[in-house]
Amino acid sequence: MVLSDRHHGITQYLPKNVELKKVHGVFLSKNLFKSKRLYVALEWKNGYRSSLPIEMANLAAPGRTFSGKEVRNEVKYERIIATISQLKNIDKSSNHYLYYYETNKGLISFSGFELARTIFFHNRHLVHAAYTANGLAGLAFVDKSISPVTISFPDSTRYPESYVRTQQAVDHIAWLFLDPEARVSFFSIYQCFQENSNSIDFKFTPPDLTGWKFELSVINNENLKVLEVQRVENILDAHVNKKYLSVEVVHPKKKKKDELAVTGEGKPRTIPSDDIDPELDMGEIPGFGRRLHTQRVKGFSFYVSGIQGVFLSDGKEADEPTPVFKDKKSPEPEKAGVGMPESGGNGQEFDPVINQYSDTFDEAEEQPSKFLMFEKVINELGKLKGIKLKSIKCGVFPVPLNNSKVIFNTKDKQRLRFFIAILDICEAKVIILEADTSSLLPPKGGGTLLLGLKDDANTNFKEIIQHFSDSAAQWQHDYIWERANVFKSCNHPKTRKNGELLSESEYAEKWVISLKKQINKALGCDL
């Protein structure tokens, strides 16, 4: 199908609060008054059609609504976890191919774009590489002759060092560069586009997905007896045939962590004020030297079990640190543009990324009633002398990396939630963690955890809650002790006194007293 720019108008915005219905494919702009660029052709629920620059491809997931440049909401479809057994068929009746796979959940269909979006299009640099002849070779060099195998970004790289800081990000890079199936599939995007550059479509050769495990949002097409994938929510395991046990990723801008702390006396300097939340303008041209405005889209992760021990090298010695002070002036409103920076550009450089979100966990959209009790207890605890409450949140346990289904068996059919409070107590940072196990079917008992985590607390915390999900909703004390300097499991107070049921306020008071007592024991302080 050949379409021109007038069929899918290049807009200056994402339609506000309108559901994205369908991705039609990718096309090359033929507008005589604009530079030739690649766009993603979209159709919205209200019948409106628009286009997004290819750099924003990873935002284009059906069922999403937007406000400005951010994902505001997602339609909740049926969620399943499916393991691929084989490729059954490729529907080539339209320009945008559909791929049918046999799974443990029956026959499932993926659009080609949704597969590529979640397998490859994690940031604009990877998108550009996919549509470039030298692709991956232009991003980094691979040396398999040494141990560990090394993936090195060149000194001239424009690939941000911040994009290789998380474990899932470096694992994905390692898989992409080292797995032959991944490299062939990645290059097929460029090949297919060159063969069909005058039409709107999307074709590529996916990697062999046999053994891959996905978390998917689907709708059931009973007529065709197939589950149609609307969104790939997570890739729980990208199965590989050859295992890699040690891979070093080298980035020239990586500095040693410990050297980056701003300490001691130094000469103050100022940095220009920047608008930290610029308005997105598709017509704005990013300029060299401007702030990189990264938007980390929540909720997606890519896991490769066969590639282990991937690490980012320590990098170069950092310069002598000095305190940095920002101008106190309010920054002028700025624009963020999409695409590669140019010398005449004035906008910030906008790059939405997935598989990079830096928060330690996904927050719950809906908080159960039990959270109100936990919140009340923590707030009372925070009023005590010697305690400062930093934050309190309700989170969702991560999807198990094995076949455990316990955390999905809840009264409200939502993934099991937990409550976390961070407090400063006696000059120590303490985490109070509570799993909502009473909402399981059948309900489970459980205690409140007091944690003082070892260095790299975010990673240790994520590993602890992941292990809970993988262990059928049970805390494994030995596993926690390996990641904590302080650990204590505190029993919940009894709900009755002298045979009579306690009121909520009475129970909350007993809970505060119990936690105070256990904190004193764990930290050796006197609250």
Token readout for 33 is 């008054």
Using alpha carbons only, how large is the chain's radius of gyration in Å? 25
Three-point CA angle 460, 465, 466, nearest 5°: 95
* Pairing, β 428-435 against β 417-425: antiparallel
The predicted structure's pLDDT at residue 496: 82
- The answer to whether the Cα torsion of 500, 501, 505, 509 is positive or negative is positive
Start-end of H helices in 28-166:
112-119, 124-130
> Phi, psi at residue 372, to the nearest 5°?
-60, -40
CB 65, CB 18: distance < 8 Å: yes
**Which three-class secondary structure state does DSSP give residue 96?**
strand
Residue 118 has pLDDT above 50, yes or no: yes
Token readout for 417 is 């939630």
Of 384, 327, 113, residue with least CA distance to 232? 113
The predicted structure's pLDDT at residue 28: 87
CA dihedral in degrees (78, 400, 239, 123; nearest 10)? 70
CB 361, CB 396: distance < 8 Å: yes
For residues 234-260, average pLDDT: 79
For residues 79-94, average pLDDT: 93
Residue 85 has pLDDT above 90, yes or no: yes
Q: What CA–CA distance (Å, rounded) separates 74 from 145?
A: 46
What whole-number percentage of the chain has pLDDT above 70? 79
CB 341, CB 290: distance < 8 Å: yes
The predicted structure's pLDDT at residue 350: 59
343: buried, middle or exposed (CB in 10 Å: 19+, 13-18, 0-12)?
A: exposed
Query: Using omega within 30 degrees of 0 as the cis cutoff, is the peptide bond preceding 252 cis?
Result: no
Q: Among 6-20, 172-186, 396-410, which range has the highest average pLDDT?
A: 172-186
The predicted structure's pLDDT at residue 111: 95
Long-range contacts of 140-144 (CB under 8 A, 24+ apart): 140/173, 140/177, 142/177, 142/178, 144/178
Q: What is the pLDDT of residues 299-347, one digit of tens each?
A: 688 988 888 888 888 765 544 333 333 444 444 555 544 555 544 445 5
Q: What is the pLDDT of residues 259-280, one digit of tens each?
A: 323 333 333 333 344 444 445 4
113: buried, middle or exposed (CB in 10 Å: 19+, 13-18, 0-12)?
A: buried
pLDDT: is 477 or 399 the higher one?
Answer: 477
What whole-number percentage of the chain has pLDDT above 90? 38
The overall pTM is greater than 0.95: no
The predicted structure's pLDDT at residue 12: 41
Instruction: Transcribe 407-420 into DSSP letters.
Output: GG-BTTSSPPEEEE
Q: What CA–CA distance (Å, rounded) separates 167 from 147?
A: 20
Q: What CA–CA distance (Å, rounded) separates 275 from 269?
A: 19
In this structure, of 144-158, 354-368, 487-501, the range with the lowest mean pLDDT score is 354-368
| Banded model confidence at residue 348, pLDDT cuts 50, 70, 90 | low
| Banded model confidence at residue 294, pLDDT cuts 50, 70, 90 | low
Distance of CA 41 to the CA centre of its chain: 24
The predicted structure's pLDDT at residue 457: 80
Residue 281 has pLDDT above 70, yes or no: no
Residue 452 has pLDDT above 50, yes or no: yes
Distance of CA 16 to the CA centre of its chain: 23
Token readout for 336 is 């963020």
The predicted structure's pLDDT at residue 333: 55
Residue 243 has pLDDT above 80, yes or no: yes
Q: Say how many residues make up the chain.
A: 527
Q: What CA–CA distance (Å, rounded) separates 390 from 218?
A: 39
The predicted structure's pLDDT at residue 247: 93
In this structure, of 117-126, 363-372, 408-417, 469-478, the range with the lowest mean pLDDT score is 363-372
Long-range contacts of 96-101 (CB under 8 A, 24+ apart): 96/23, 96/24, 96/25, 96/201, 96/202, 96/203, 97/201, 97/202, 97/203, 99/206, 100/226, 101/209
Q: What CA–CA distance (Å, rounded) separates 241 from 384?
A: 56
The predicted structure's pLDDT at residue 515: 92
The predicted structure's pLDDT at residue 69: 67
Q: What CA–CA distance (Å, rounded) separates 36 from 88?
A: 37
Q: Among 29-38, 172-181, 394-403, which range has the highest average pLDDT?
A: 172-181
| Banded model confidence at residue 84, pLDDT cuts 50, 70, 90 | very high
* Pairing, β 149-152 against β 141-143: antiparallel
| Banded model confidence at residue 7, pLDDT cuts 50, 70, 90 | very low
pLDDT: is 387 or 318 the higher one?
Answer: 387
Distance of CA 196 to the CA centre of its chain: 32
Residue 486 has pLDDT above 50, yes or no: yes
CB 421, CB 518: distance < 8 Å: no
**Which three-class secondary structure state does DSSP give residue 260?**
helix
CB 201, CB 96: distance < 8 Å: yes
Three-point CA angle 121, 127, 128, nearest 5°: 170
